[in-house]
Chain A
Amino acid sequence: MAGSGKGRGRAAFTFNIEAIGFAKGETLPEVAFKPPPLFPPTDFKPVPLKMGEEEDYMLALKQEFRASMKKMPYFMQKEDENQGIEKYSKKYLQMRKESMEWTPGGKMKKAKVATPKSNVDVLKKIEELEKKGDEEKSDEEKEKEKDKEGEEEEEEAGNEQEEYDEEDHEEENDYIASYFEDGDDFGAGSDDNMDEATY
């Protein structure tokens, strides 16, 4: 019958296979039925790198350039996500965020200079606070701060909110830090959180 080709079940091509160089009846190369391997073995290994003074110097230049770029004010680091253990001092460092109006090159440097100083002040403050209050008290505050911080880190202008929450948390201790000196509206706002009566 027409179309049966050379024999039943054998491969039959529409052209003379000798044209591309396979002898009649010879085994054809295997058909690929899966994608090629990701790292195929190579017959020839790559040529070794150029070595020399010039190359070494350019390598040093490249690494130094990368390091300097990281220190420049142009390098904008993304705010770190929650890194497991929240550092207590982080709350104070966040209060010193860059001001909203940013002038290229100008204010960034000042902000950087200011933060080390604030670090020292904050550390001293923390030491004093630790000496004053109980240790349990600071732990409690830490845990509550953690929860609040997790929500707040996504918001940009967290300054004012953090200060407000700080005062809120201080109210939840057994000791009242200060008698009411604020306006009448203060008590009305935090009625839900308060356990004890207001005087």
Chain B
Amino acid sequence: MTQAEIKLCSLLLQEHFGEIVEKIGTHLIKTGSQPLRVIANDTGMSLDQVKKALCVLIQHNLVTYQLQKRGFVEYEASCSRVLRILRYPRYIYTAKTLYSDMGELIVEELLLNGKMTMSVVVRKVVNRLTETMEDGKTMDYGEVSNTFVRLADTHFIQRCPMAPETTETLDAPPPPVPTLVVNEKDMYVVPNLNLIGKGKRRRSFDDEDNGEHKAKRQKQDADSKEPPPDDGIYWQTNIDRFHQHFRDQAIVSAVANRMDQTSSEIVRTMLRMSEITTSSNAPYTQPLSSNEIFRSLPAGYNIVKQILDQYLTLLADDPLEFVGKSGDSGGGMYVINLHKALATLATATLESIVQERFGSRCARIFRLLLRKKHLEQKQVEDFAMIPAKEAKDMLYKMLSENFVSLQEIPKTPDHAPSRTFYLYAVNTLSSARMLLHWCYKSVANLIERRQYETKENKRLLEKSQRVEAILASMQATGAEEMQLQEIEEMITAPERQQLENLKRNVNKIDASENQVDETIFVLESYIESTVKKL
């Protein structure tokens, strides 16, 4: 874990879970896996606090535990999983685009709580939706359950590992750590629940329904005493599946930018067909025949089979190599080269960064080096058509920032400088890693700045919150216009201006964090694809 990653993790933990959890989480990330007492000793916190913090972290899938051979239990934090907290709004938004408000709320509840049972999720979502609806209407459990089932079917949520049902022998002591297992087949199987009922509002009910609701409340109490039928079956969000979706989105939009709408639709269809058949880190999708693709095209697109074939040939011949042809059976077998696509996306990001940092001429040299791999100084000047002095200057600037590397090839064994080739080259993988590190640093800086801004204006913020609370309570009790105006004037005009500025700055910083996270996603996916999994 680099320093930048650790700093970012600690800031994220502090913002979402408080300082105690942050201290313990950061300690675990820095030192690797440790047993409970060592953590308590090193952080100087009481055993009780450490236990609570670990509970919170385990609940949110940030820490795992393992029984070591010597008999004690060690806890390990996952730095990359903590960094995902930055991406939560994107997950929730994706769920909204795919499954509308119900999907959005289900995913949001699961992310807020880490692990939950289906009945609890559905109940909470129904209550939340009911509150936003008009008076008198309530949300039905059935629709929300259906959305939940659909989310599970498309693998966006999955079951957590469960404790196995063991035949307990009373004399044997329970193991220090429950070994949780998850059956691959059952991971997306939804329990058969009969969830019926309507949502409840938290606000005061109408007088007419009073009697009815009293009865309902009693029934609810009775229900809560019995264990729900799906007790022990917990669900969590499947982060990898969301990442797969983002990757597909990125590829489709890249194709749309490069070619046209129709080809992007074809690529989208191909990706959709391989969603469940291809694992998330496969280098390319399963081969799909042109006939299959034709049958699976969305209903709106009525293009002729020949046109589809032409498009596929064009895609396969494109130098970007997103789509490749792997055979001729079935009208032509086509695959999508996922790893190549990710590499292309990362390279495009690199080029764009060089352009924005150093100017378009440097970007030209950069692209030239990417294409030609190794070039001497003189060749760079010739190919880029840039005067020698400027080309030298730009190359050295990029070299000093480590975007470009220098390779020496000696002609003689004594490495004399006058008799050595110096070749410039670009190493995309190492540049990507360096940029990823920059991204983590930027987000950490952004969060710190945002916290600083909020802290500077804390007094003003508290005052405005109090005024709003007073206003709200007065409006509820029906106050006059004059009184409301008086209360509003408690905040002076320059203070109002200051608050506006603060709000604008905080929003801007938050939006920047979201966008840096998009770059982080592209770079991380690329780097992950190059790592060989054993």
- Tell me, in angstroms, the Cα distance from A156 to B59 when the chains sit together: 25
User: Of B53, B96, B511, which is in contact with the most chain A CB atoms at under 10 Å from its CB?
Assistant: B511
Q: Is A199 an interface residue (CB 8 A)?
A: no
Contact B510–A59 (Cβ < 8 Å): yes
Q: Is B205 an interface residue (CB 8 A)?
A: no
Q: Is B452 an interface residue (CB 8 A)?
A: no
- Tell me, in angstroms, the Cα distance from A42 to B60 when the chains sit together: 41
Contact A74–B356 (Cβ < 8 Å): no
Q: A65-B112, A69-B112 are in contact. Are A74 and B90 (CB under 8 A)?
A: no
| Interface flags, B196-228, vs A, CB<8A=1, else 0 | 000000000000000000000000000000000
Q: Is A68 an interface residue (CB 8 A)?
A: yes
Q: Is B514 an interface residue (CB 8 A)?
A: yes
Contact B108–A65 (Cβ < 8 Å): yes
Interface residues on B, range: 35 or more
Q: Which residues of A contact B112 (CB under 8 A)?
A: 65, 68-69, 72
| Interface flags, B41-85, vs A, CB<8A=1, else 0 | 000001011011101100110000000000000000000000000
Q: A21-B392, A44-B358 are in contact. Are A55 and B52 (CB under 8 A)?
A: no
Give min CB distance, B146 to chain A, whole Å: 23
Q: A75-B18, A76-B20, A76-B53 are in contact. Are A49 and B511 (CB under 8 A)?
A: yes
Set A16, A19, A21, A76: member contacting B18, Cβ < 8 A: A76
Q: Is A102 an interface residue (CB 8 A)?
A: yes
Contact A65–B53 (Cβ < 8 Å): no
Contact A78–B18 (Cβ < 8 Å): yes
Q: Give the number of residues in A that approach B within 8 Å (Cβ atoms).
A: 34
Q: A59-B510, A104-B59 are in contact. Are A43 and B359 (CB under 8 A)?
A: yes
Q: Which residues of A contact B514 (CB under 8 A)?
A: 55, 58-59, 62
- Tell me, in angstroms, the Cα distance from A21 to B394 when the chains sit together: 13
Set B55, B89, B392, B515: member contacting A50, Cβ < 8 A: B515
- Tell me, in angstroms, the Cα distance from A156 to B48 when the chains sit together: 10
Give min CB distance, B56 to chain A, whole Å: 5
**Nearest A-chain residue to B21, judged by Cβ:** A76
Q: Which residues of A contact B89 (CB under 8 A)?
A: 58-59, 61-62, 65
- Tell me, in angstroms, the Cα distance from A162 to B418 when the chains sit together: 83
Contact B88–A47 (Cβ < 8 Å): no
Q: A16-B418, A19-B418, A21-B388 are in contact. Are A57 and B18 (CB under 8 A)?
A: no
Q: Is B305 an interface residue (CB 8 A)?
A: no
Set B15, B52, B356, B418: member contacting A66, Cβ < 8 A: B15
Contact B510–A44 (Cβ < 8 Å): no
- Tell me, in angstroms, the Cα distance from A104 to B234 when the chains sit together: 15
A-B contact pairs, 9 of them (CB 8 A): A19-B418, A21-B377, A57-B93, A59-B511, A69-B15, A74-B56, A76-B21, A78-B19, A102-B48
